[in-house]
Structure 1
Amino acid sequence: MDALLLSGGIAPEAISALVEGRHGDPFSILGPHAGADGEVVVRAFLPGAVGLTILDRSNGAQLAVASLLHPAGLFAATLTEGAAYLLQIQWPDAVQVTEDPYSFGVQLGDLDLHLIGQGTHYNLTQALGANPVTVEGVEGVRFAVWAPNARRVSVVGDFNAWDGRRHPMRLRQPVGIWEIFVPRLTAGERYKYEIIDQHGTVLPQKADPVGRSAEAAPSTASIVASSAPFDWHDADWMRSQRERTKIDGPMSVYEVHVGSWVRDLADGNRSLDWIELSQRMIPYVRDMGFTHIELLPIMEHPFGGSWGYQPLGLFAPTGRYGTPEDFAYFIDRCHAHGIGVILDWVPAHFPTDIWGMARFDGTALYEHEDPREGFHKDWNTLIYNLGRNEVKGFLIASALEWLERYHVDGLRVDAVASMLYRDYSRAADEWIPNKFGGRENLESIEFFKHLNSIIHTRCPHAFTVAEESTAFPDVTRPPEEGGLGFDLKWNMGWMHDSLHYVEEDPVYRRYHHGSITFGMVYAYTERFMLPLSHDEVVHGKGSLLLKMPGDVWQKFANLRAYFGFMWGHPGKKLLFMGGEIGQSSEWNHDASVHWDLIDDPMHGGLQRLVRDLNRLYVQHAALHYGDIHPDGFEWAVVDDAENSVLAMLRYDRERQGAVLVVSNFTPVPRTGYRIGVSGGGSWQVILNSDAGVYGGANSYVGDATAEPIAAHGHPFSIQADLPALSTVMFRLTRE
């Protein structure tokens, strides 16, 4: 047939743009189009192909042999009627039969596009990204990506030799979504997007911002994830989480960097995968009595040295430790053993890697254009533009992905303070005030309110935790009451003050007594978690054990007393891995925790103490009710700076159960020390951090009976012998 008829009057420059990979509307040329006299012209661009035959999809019969319309590989054929067809492509060394991607209509509905544009498509991975779907009875993968300022977007992968000319996508206006359905692809395919910006420049191939699976670093391609549901067995757990007040009970969190918890030295010092961690970490955490595991960010990230805090795949579990299905299995096994899972989640910033989200379509799409708003000098990272609906929706959908798809129990939101203040870590001329002239980031404030409202509505099993290091008000107050809506906040002030106190030589602690008691002045202004996190054992800060003063014995005694104080103090608990065994060196993300140390009685004893503290914390409601309820706490001794002794009374909801926590932070035993209590009764010793089984001196501490002798502002008191550098806990038993 005449080439002019086959070209359908398409301008030569349009065909040139197509074959050169510059055409922004390939569906206007490729696929089936109306020809003369009711005929249908089918065009296909197949660079490298040597021939094309059109087959009937219903029976495989030959319908037409295509003509070569352009030597670059543009073929065309005329069909007498618009029957569903197949392309039989003759490659130099193979024959491929497939449906024509350009024979399928639009993929996303108008509602999808509207919700994406409004920033309210919270099931974003069902619309964007790579989704195995069936269209008109044909199985394949639908690709969709947001790139509103691009001139052309193609999906590339192994399936098309990473050739951006092969699968240019359809633009859906006005939102700026590019889409295509590629028949016969399945889960497991590697892919990226090739984008031409508005100036005609071909950008470095980009990973999928909404991809649900990714190659293990240092490779950077996205992977088509399976659409099959995970095989969950945690229905009872999820139901129980919805039916209880999540933060009322005990919460003792074991913070973990997955890649360095245990490494297999016999296998090249490799990290364990999710299946191996299920077999080793979960039984350990359960035996230690922790209620939750908190994972440093496991979202895909290019640089392992960022520990995950510079993620680029906010919807994809990192490929370092296995598949998304393996990660879901780990969560399922945690729940089977009664352990909740918290993920660190990073909406504050993202790295500048050229294959990531930085200037994704050639413009500042996810980030701010102005570096005074859009660049973190501290971390050399970009800041999300929360003034864009699409970006807010992207982040909220990411949070929901982990809570809904993966049944995660909580999100700890990283670097909240950096988001709340426009002048965070900036000089006076390096930031832009808000519309009222202030330093508060109004967009971030509204984002957090909306995020937490959506999470609490859609995910009643879940909770959120803010790493917020300032005195920003009402972080844990509900949004409807003017707060940000987080369930808990890391108590960075308590952490800094208490560590400052215990790092002092005991002889000087009397001058810093306010540091160890000040946390209770504001303890109930928010709902707090007490963190001894990874941040305190890196960058030359030394391990927790090395922070302690004195000789080796005193270092362990100080740390045992400090742990006892921490578990007795109001607030949920968080301890970074290695702290529980008194690791001697600071954390190295390229090496294992020093598990061999537990063979030493001092290290093994410290581990046993943490185990017993966790069990007492769960067993005695008095030790956790006052975490967030002020009527569950009372000072017994607060003002004895001279002796560096303090004592806390903890009560349960009915004030029938009580635990007395007494800490002596000097190496001097206090014999017959009188401690004020609120009423009569006997006080039974339930823990002594100086016990021999913990590596202590095994000093004896006996039970005590309250006497009507006033002390420290209380009408009754007991006398107790307090070992040097110790914390002792007593349980009230009423006669």
Structure 2
Amino acid sequence: MVDTAKGTNKKDTSFDALKSLEEPIGRLAHGKHHDPFEFLGIHECPLDISGQRTDWMIREWLPTAEKARVKLSNGDYIELQRYPDSDLFYATLTEISYQNLPQHYSVSWCEGNGLWHELISPYSFLPIIGELDLHLFSEGRHWHLYEILGAHQQEVDGVSGVRFAVWAPAAERVSVVGDFNGWHGLRHPMRVIGGSGVWEIFIPGLSQNDLYKFEIRHRDSGNVVVKTDPYAQAMEMRPANACKVYQSSYEWQDQAWLQQREHFSWQEAPINVYEVHLGSWQRDDAGNFLNYREIAHRLVGYVQWMGYTHIELLPVSEHPLDQSWGYQTTGYFAPTSRFGTPDDFRYFVDYCHRHGIGVFLDWVPAHFPKDSFALGRFDGSALYEHEDPRLGEHQDWGTYIFNFGRNEVRNFLIANALYWVKELHIDGLRVDAVASMLYLNYSREDGQWVPNKHGGCENLEAIEFLQTLNYEIHSQAPGVMMMAEESTSWPMVSRPTWMGGLGFSMKWNMGWMNDTLSYMEKEPVFRSYHHNELTFSQMYAYTENFILPLSHDEVVHMKNSLIGKMPGDDWQKAANLRLLLGYQMLNPGKKLLFMGSEFAQWTEWNESQSLPWELCDVSLNRGVQLYSRELNHLYKQNSALHQRDFNSEGFEWIDCHDYQQSILSFMRHSNEQTILCIFNFTPVVRENYRIGVPQAGTYREMLNSDAECFGGSNAGNGGELYAQDGGWMNQGFHLDLTLPPLGVLVLVKQD
């Protein structure tokens, strides 16, 4: 029975108390004891042969000790004896001694250096995790699981310490190891709670920034591994990889932003995202990383000046390899220590919000790396991944695939997404590599994949996971956006789950991106033969809520920078880039641009160094930067360019058929205004080019990408034109324009 007053455990059954120690001592010595609490701590001894006397025995496992003792309430000590040829120290207590023993007693021990250490025994505490928590976890529905598993500072019965908990159902023994116990795997073995597979221990005296991991012995093979905590909220700076006990003390100041976010009508609002890799946007003068707080002040000021509405961060969850850019995550709940503490990251997000900038985060539930210290084969079994490599491994990336059919794994990922959104105030998650999750045969040949129960290639468990993920995010955090990088024609990615969709807010338009870049990379003389690459996207533009991305993936891996892709001499390259950026901004859909492209970085992105900001002092690059800024503010300030992004009524072709001259023209509509957009994809100035317009009156030239201040030739229309009578292109009036070479014109009718 359990003595709740003293926290004692189950009564021994052997009449020979000392002899009964041999079997559990053997299990402890070999690291095989699955529940050391049933043996260590304070326990009632059996009745003697007469049945007249009951004593208590206190037992502590102290592998590094030479001598040990227990402190009584009156300040006296009881010396502990070492059981022969073992690391077990014990003492039999009389009734008087037992009554004088604190509920949570202190153990002192002396090591070979002669120094004494004293700590309250972890084995004097009862289980802390409740049955409801374990039940919800087993069902995969514990959305605040990060508050239960992991390492948490708390006070139990007036004693301060850290509660550790980890899921390892295939383990025979799990121990906490850390700098506080010399990383000794037999020093703090944990208890398993029933059949949940969850192991727990409360260790008094530990505090902020103590380092720790879990040592796990597999129940069948006996193999021992040392693993980081999947729920750790802080980790060491790479190449070290220990977890840190961490409790936030940050006081948020973005309440106004969060209240506004709940009612944010993002579908009709300007969403213009600046995609950023924090390690290479800027560095200090010595080439070292900046702190999250330093980056916040530099980056937010720049983003405000440029006119972006949101920042999207390449993954900042902890990862061991800089070259992975964060896409091979090992610490899902820990902002990377490269740039400071988790509270430094909170400051970054808070500062963005207080200055009107939203923060999106790349999030990677599709796969995880095989690093031996992380999630892979976590408890000696395929716990988070599939055992079968046809289901559990990405051949292209050399990584494991999450087992989305396992409740606890789905719970881990959804709780992680909610953690970033609710605890770190992230405004949206861009889910990486969704296509690889949806298809069982993704990048696999016949025989390399396993069909679903219906014989198809759809990953039914991943579909259910994504739908649950999006439903919970939208339910628990209204206004937060979920964005899918999905590269196939999977239907209804950005449609609600109640319609049968995946439930994302938006989807990256990879088709638009690929077609547009393919067209722009061609010499203008050949563009007339590929005109449909520009116009085809309107055939499906409103089947999803699309983001138009020009992302990091397009400026790495020998793909060249955006300006480097453009044909022609340097002047034409810059003009083509301005044309590309204008075509992106003026088409329906929200926008995303990777850092450096806004000022025409010539080289491919290099994650190991800062962007070449010195280019902003070069006239060509400065012109592109000023043009990008003008374009961003034009987009934000004019409702026709964003109000009906997801509605075909917001877009109307003027002329999509002039392939011979490689010219496109269309109108963007909102409730308040109509804006005309004309694109000349050749380096030839087109004089007296006629387009149809719906109304008579004066039309103002809002933007000309060929303006001299942007590095252009200044061909244009003097700032305004007057629409003349005479129908043209199914419109009642017409304008005769001068179209600048490789240029964009944006016109609006004056009231």
Among candidates 67, 75, 83, match of residue 61 of structure 1: 75
1:265-280, aligned counterparts within 5 Å? 266-267=285-286, 269-280=287-298
Amino acid at match of 1:171: V
Deviates more, 1:623-632 or 1:534-543: 623-632
Task: Verify the 8 A CA contact 1:572 1:627 in the aligned structure 2.
Answer: yes
In structure 2, the residue matched to 1:423 is 441
Runs of at least 4 residues off by over 4 Å: 4-9
In structure 2, the residue matched to 1:682 is 698
1:106-117, aligned counterparts within 5 Å? 106-117=127-138
Structure 1 counterpart SS, 2:726: coil
Structure 1 counterpart SS, 2:416: helix
1:104-503, aligned counterparts within 5 Å? 104-226=125-247, 228-264=248-284, 266-267=285-286, 269-503=287-521
Q: Give distance in 2, aligned partners of 1:60 and 1:276.
A: 53
Task: Verify the 8 A CA contact 1:64 1:78 in the aligned structure 2.
Answer: no
Amino acid at match of 1:149: A
Task: Verify the 8 A CA contact 1:55 1:61 in the aligned structure 2.
Answer: yes
Among candidates 512, 516, 524, match of residue 534 of structure 2: 516
In structure 2, the residue matched to 1:712 is 729
Among candidates 543, 563, 566, match of residue 584 of structure 2: 566
Structure 2 counterpart SS, 1:639: coil
Is 2:708 the counterpart of 1:692? yes
Alpha carbons of structure 1 residues 680 and 70: separation in structure 2 relative to 1, 3 Å: farther
Task: Verify the 8 A CA contact 2:316 2:336 in the aligned structure 1.
Answer: yes
Amino acid at match of 1:27: F
Task: Verify the 8 A CA contact 2:31 2:217 in the aligned structure 1.
Answer: no
Q: Give distance in 2, aligned partners of 1:165 and 1:132.
A: 22
In structure 1, the residue matched to 2:6 is none
Structure 1 counterpart SS, 2:592: strand
In structure 2, the residue matched to 1:726 is 743
Q: CA deviation at 1:60?
A: 5.4
Per-residue deviation, residues 708-734 of structure 1 (Å, max 9, x unmatched): 322222222222111111001112223
Q: CA deviation at 1:200?
A: 4.5
Q: CA deviation at 1:151?
A: 0.6
Amino acid at match of 2:342: P
Q: Give distance in 1, aligned partners of 2:639 and 2:685.
A: 30
Per-residue deviation, residues 573-602 of structure 1 (Å, max 9, x unmatched): 100011001000111111111111011111
In structure 1, the residue matched to 2:546 is 528
Amino acid at match of 1:354: S
Q: Give distance in 2, aligned partners of 1:376 and 1:60.
A: 62
Q: CA deviation at 1:153?
A: 0.5
Q: Give distance in 1, aligned partners of 2:18 and 2:310.
A: 65
Is 2:698 the counterpart of 1:668? no
Task: Verify the 8 A CA contact 2:267 2:645 in the aligned structure 1.
Answer: no
Structure 1 counterpart SS, 2:60: strand
Task: Verify the 8 A CA contact 1:251 1:572 in the aligned structure 2.
Answer: yes
Q: CA deviation at 1:196?
A: 0.5
Structure 2 counterpart SS, 1:715: strand
Deviates more, 1:546-555 or 1:72-81: 72-81
In structure 2, the residue matched to 1:550 is 568
Q: Give distance in 2, aligned partners of 1:7 and 1:697.
A: 97
Q: Give distance in 2, aligned partners of 1:72 and 1:188.
A: 32
Q: CA deviation at 1:7?
A: 4.5
Q: Give distance in 2, aligned partners of 1:626 and 1:63.
A: 78
Deviates more, 1:693-702 or 1:307-316: 693-702
Per-residue deviation, residues 80-117 of structure 1 (Å, max 9, x unmatched): 32542221222333222221100000020001111111
Q: Give distance in 2, aligned partners of 1:495 and 1:354.
A: 37
In structure 2, the residue matched to 1:609 is 627
Q: CA deviation at 1:705?
A: 2.3
Q: Give distance in 2, aligned partners of 1:720 and 1:496.
A: 30
Q: CA deviation at 1:9?
A: 4.8
Per-residue deviation, residues 465-498 of structure 1 (Å, max 9, x unmatched): 0000000000000001110000000000000000
In structure 1, the residue matched to 2:31 is 21
Task: Verify the 8 A CA contact 1:6 1:77 in the aligned structure 2.
Answer: no
Q: CA deviation at 1:8?
A: 5.3
In structure 2, the residue matched to 1:701 is 717
Q: Give distance in 2, aligned partners of 1:326 and 1:38.
A: 56
Task: Verify the 8 A CA contact 2:679 2:745 in the aligned structure 1.
Answer: yes
Alpha carbons of structure 1 residues 292 and 391: separation in structure 2 relative to 1, 3 Å: same
Structure 2 counterpart SS, 1:707: strand
1:83-122, aligned counterparts within 5 Å? 83=101, 84=103, 85-92=105-112, 93-122=114-143
Q: CA deviation at 1:6?
A: 8.9
1:72-83, aligned counterparts within 5 Å? 72-79=86-93, 80=95, 81=98, 83=101
Task: Verify the 8 A CA contact 2:579 2:705 in the aligned structure 1.
Answer: yes
Q: Give distance in 2, aligned partners of 1:706 and 1:441.
A: 56
Deviates more, 1:240-249 or 1:326-335: 240-249
Q: Give distance in 2, aligned partners of 1:155 and 1:303.
A: 26
Task: Verify the 8 A CA contact 2:57 2:91 in the aligned structure 1.
Answer: yes
Task: Verify the 8 A CA contact 1:564 1:728 in the aligned structure 2.
Answer: no
In structure 1, the residue matched to 2:3 is none
Q: Give distance in 2, aligned partners of 1:203 and 1:415.
A: 33
Among candidates 20, 23, 31, match of residue 41 of structure 2: 31
Structure 1 counterpart SS, 2:350: helix
Amino acid at match of 2:231: V
Among candidates 43, 63, 66, match of residue 59 of structure 2: 43
Q: Give distance in 1, aligned partners of 2:16 and 2:252.
A: 54
Task: Verify the 8 A CA contact 2:225 2:380 in the aligned structure 1.
Answer: no
Amino acid at match of 1:726: G
Q: CA deviation at 1:272?
A: 1.5
Q: CA deviation at 1:172?
A: 1.1
TM-score (norm 1): 0.97
Task: Verify the 8 A CA contact 1:562 1:727 in the aligned structure 2.
Answer: no
Q: Give distance in 2, aligned partners of 1:169 and 1:19.
A: 14
In structure 1, the residue matched to 2:650 is 632
Q: CA deviation at 1:63?
A: 4.9
Q: Give distance in 2, aligned partners of 1:582 and 1:688.
A: 18
Task: Verify the 8 A CA contact 1:341 1:410 in the aligned structure 2.
Answer: yes
Per-residue deviation, residues 173-229 of structure 1 (Å, max 9, x unmatched): 221001000001001011111011023533331001111111111111111111x44
Task: Verify the 8 A CA contact 1:49 1:89 in the aligned structure 2.
Answer: yes
Identity of aligned residues (%): 48
Task: Verify the 8 A CA contact 1:568 1:648 in the aligned structure 2.
Answer: no
In structure 1, the residue matched to 2:8 is none
Q: CA deviation at 1:356?
A: 0.8
Amino acid at match of 1:61: G
Task: In structure 1, list runs of 5 or more residues that go unmatched.
Answer: none
Deviates more, 1:625-634 or 1:283-292: 625-634
Q: Give distance in 2, aligned partners of 1:62 and 1:675.
A: 98
Q: Give distance in 2, aligned partners of 1:361 and 1:710.
A: 74
Q: CA deviation at 1:157?
A: 0.3
Q: Give distance in 1, aligned partners of 2:180 and 2:590.
A: 50
Amino acid at match of 1:42: I
Q: Give distance in 1, aligned partners of 2:193 and 2:32.
A: 17
Structure 1 counterpart SS, 2:725: coil
Q: Give distance in 1, aligned partners of 2:255 and 2:127.
A: 37
In structure 1, the residue matched to 2:660 is 642
Structure 1 counterpart SS, 2:91: strand
TM-score (norm 2): 0.95
Q: CA deviation at 1:320?
A: 1.1
